[in-house]
C-alpha cells in the first residue's frame, strides 16, 4: 500500500496563539510532530500548513510542507487540499492518507504503523483508536469522546455523552485517523450532517455517509497541546 502522512497545522488558536511554532527543546512543536511521523517509516510525510510561517519552519527543519488556505473548515479539509496540491506537483496518489494531529509532539510512531496495518482487514474505510476509561468524571466529561463498537471493532456511534449507558468502563476515542483515499474524498465532499452538528463530532458525518470505522485499542493516551499548561507539561517530558 502507498501511504502519505499529512499533518494539518494552522496558527489560529484562541488558547495558545502561534501554537505550531512554540519552542520545545530547541525546535518548533510542528517539527517534533514531523519527526514522530517520519520515525514511523511507512511513507512520505508532509505538513498541510495554514500559514507561510509554518511552511518556513518545517522547510528549515528539512521537512516537506504545503501551503493551504487558512479558511479551510477542518484538518480533514486541510490534508485533502494539501494532497491535491502534492499530486498536481507530481506526487504519487496514495492508497492511504494518515492524518496526524499537529499538536501531539509525543505521538508514538507505532500508532501510525498499527493504523496502516489494520487496512489489511480490507473492510475498514477509516482506522482510528480508543483507550479504556473507567473513572466516573472521565466518562461524564464531554471533552472525552466515547465510542461504541460491535464485535469486530467497527464503530457504531461516537458521542460526548457516556455510552453505552450503564457501562462500568467505556472506550474513549482518540482523534487520530487513517483514511483510504476514496473514503477521505467522499468525506470532504459531503456537507456536515445533522448528527455532526449536534455532537460537534466530524466522524459522525463519516458514519452518516456509510464509512466503516475500525477502532483499534491502545494503552497510549494522547498528550495534546491546547493550552500554555499543556505546553509546559510537554516541555518537561521532552527536556
Query: Distance between CA atoms of 36 and 86, rounded to whole angstroms?
Result: 21
pLDDT digits (tens, 9 = 90+) for 114-125: 999 999 999 999
Q: Which CATH architecture has domain 1-104?
A: Alpha-Beta Complex (3.90)
Query: Residue 217 and residue 71: Cα distance in Å, rounded?
Result: 33
User: Do 130 and 218 meet the contact criterion of CB atoms below 8 Å apart?
Assistant: yes
Predicted confidence at residue 12, as pLDDT, reads: 80
Band of residue 194 on the pLDDT scale cut at 50, 70, 90: very high
On the question of pLDDT at 221 being above 80, the answer is: no
- Sign, CA dihedral 87-90-96-102, equals negative
Write down the pLDDT at residue 29: 96
Mean pLDDT of the chain: 95
Could you give the CA distance from residue 226 to residue 14 in angstroms, rounded to a whole number? 9
- Looking at domain 108-221, its CATH class is alpha beta
Residue 45 has pLDDT above 90, yes or no: yes
Buried b (16+ CB within 10 A) or exposed e, 88-117: eeebeebebbbbbbbbbbbbebebbbbbbe
pLDDT recorded at residue 172: 96
Q: For 161-179, write each residue's pLDDT tens digit.
A: 999 999 999 999 998 999 9
Give yes or no for residue 18 having a pLDDT over 80.
yes
Residue 15 confidence (pLDDT): 80
pLDDT of 56-79, one tens digit each? 999 999 999 999 998 898 999 999
Q: Cis ω on the peptide bond leading into residue 164 (within 30° of 0)?
A: yes
Q: What pLDDT does 165 receive?
A: 96
Q: Domain locations in the chain?
A: 1-104, 108-221
**Could you check whether 1-104 and 108-221 share the same CATH topology?**
yes
For 103, which DSSP code?
T
Amino acid at each position: 500500500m502507498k501511504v502519505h502522512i499529512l499533518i494539518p497545522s494552522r496558527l489560529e488558536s484562541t488558547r495558545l496563539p502561534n501554537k505550531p511554532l512554540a519552542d520545545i527543546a530547541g525546535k518548533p512543536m510542528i517539527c517534533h510532530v514531523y519527526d514522530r511521523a517520519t520515525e514511523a517509516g511507512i511513507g512520505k510525510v508532509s505538513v498541510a500548513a495554514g500559514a507561510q510561517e509554518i511552511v518556513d519552519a518545517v522547510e528549515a527543519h528539512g521537512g516537506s510542507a504545503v501551503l493551504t488556505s487558512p479558511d479551510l473548515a477542518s484538518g480533514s479539509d486541510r490534508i485533502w487540499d494539501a494532497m491535491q496540491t502534492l499530486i498536481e506537483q507530481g506526487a504519487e496518489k496514495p492508497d492511504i492518507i494518515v492524518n496526524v494531529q499537529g499538536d501531539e509532539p509525543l505521538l508514538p510512531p507505532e500508532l501510525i504503523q498499527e493504523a496502516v496495518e489494520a487496512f489489511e482487514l480490507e473492510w475498514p474505510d477509516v482506522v482510528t483508536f480508543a483507550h479504556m476509561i473507567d473513572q466516573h468524571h472521565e466518562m461524564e466529561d464531554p471533552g472525552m469522546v466515547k465510542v461504541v463498537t460491535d464485535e469486530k471493532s467497527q464503530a457504531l456511534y461516537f458521542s460526548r455523552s457516556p455510552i453505552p449507558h450503564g457501562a462500568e468502563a467505556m472506550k474513549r476515542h482518540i482523534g487520530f485517523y487513517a483514511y483510504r483515499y476514496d473514503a477521505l474524498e467522499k468525506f470532504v465532499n459531503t456537507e456536515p450532517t445533522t448528527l455532526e452538528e449536534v455532537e460537534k463530532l466530524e466522524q459522525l458525518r463519516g458514519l452518516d455517509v456509510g464509512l466503516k470505522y475500525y477502532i483499534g485499542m491502545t494503552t497510549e493516551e494522547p498528550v495534546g497541546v491546547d493550552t500554555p499548561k499543556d505546553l509546559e507539561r510537554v516541555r518537561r517530558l521532552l527536556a
